[in-house]
């Protein structure tokens, strides 16, 4: 079977894999959207409108990201409030 259909190892793209435990799939997708808007914003054509759209999206993204991160750590601390060792590792 290996001669006909050998197993292949694949490498996942860093764009779709969360680097932090608190990163959600929605935040990863929003990161890609933010990067696309940035690339359009630095383009010379229609720079002002694209830049304005990028800045609004970036600000909203950063606000949501901070809230998700704070909620994750808050939940982790509450879950481990009686276990000092686990709390320290959070």
Q: What is the pLDDT of residues 20-62, one digit of tens each?
A: 888 889 999 999 999 999 999 998 777 888 999 999 999 999 9
Q: Is 62 left (phi over 0), alpha (psi -120 to 50) or beta?
A: alpha
Q: What CA–CA distance (Å, rounded) separates 44 from 47?
A: 5
Q: What CA–CA distance (Å, rounded) separates 38 from 15?
A: 16
CA nearest neighbour of 43 among 51, 31, 35: 51
Q: What CA–CA distance (Å, rounded) separates 78 from 73?
A: 9
Q: What is the pTM of this model?
A: 0.72
């Amino acid at each position: 079977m290996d001669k006909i259909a050998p197993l292949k190892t694949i490498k996942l793209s860093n764009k779709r894999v969360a680097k932090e435990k608190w990163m959600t799939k929605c935040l990863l997708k929003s990161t890609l959207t933010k990067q696309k808007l940035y690339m359009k914003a630095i383009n010379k054509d229609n720079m002002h409108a694209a830049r304005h759209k990028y800045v609004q999206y970036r600000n909203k993204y950063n606000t949501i990201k901070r809230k998700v991160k704070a909620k994750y750590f808050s939940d982790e601390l509450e879950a481990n409030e009686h276990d000092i060792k686990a709390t320290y590792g959070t």
